[in-house]
Amino acid sequence: GAKGGVNCDPKKMSQGELERLTRRYTSEIINMIGPEKDIPAPDLGTDSQIMAWIMDTYSVNRGYSVPGVVTGKPIAIGGSQGRRDATGRGVVFISLNTLKYLNRSIGNINVVVQGFGKVGSIVAKFSYIKKAKACKI
């Protein structure tokens, strides 16, 4: 896997500017991505709309729809239910299984989460639901 991006603040861009930037960026990396290569996924400053633009730009260049080129796209165009929470849920799932392996209970564990963004907020939420002793952010 890899990461790539553009140094900008998407919150300061209009919807049109963000779309043009996304489509141009996709055109520049088009030979490096694809279902059998590298699959872009949402990260800092991205959302399902940006992933949809990447998929559309890639698909137009291929001449047919390629939903497998990205993850995190809207459900209406082939995205997965629960994708938004998947990484945070995965952290909690792995943590619970590790605790089980160590014969420990989450009820006796203080959970510390760094940040409260897309992943940290979900980790905090599900740690609380699973009855962690304390959850600190």
Q: Which residues are catalytic?
A: 3
- Strands 110-112 and 134-136 come out as parallel
Residue 134: its H or E element: strand 134-136
Tracing tokens 């730009």 back to the chain, one arrives at 57
Close Cβ partners of 16 (under 8 Å, ≥ 6 residues apart) = none
Per-residue tokens: 126:
């599900």
| Maximum separation of any 2 CA atoms in the chain, in Å | 55
Which alpha helices (DSSP H) does the chain contain, by range? 15-29, 48-62, 83-101, 120-129
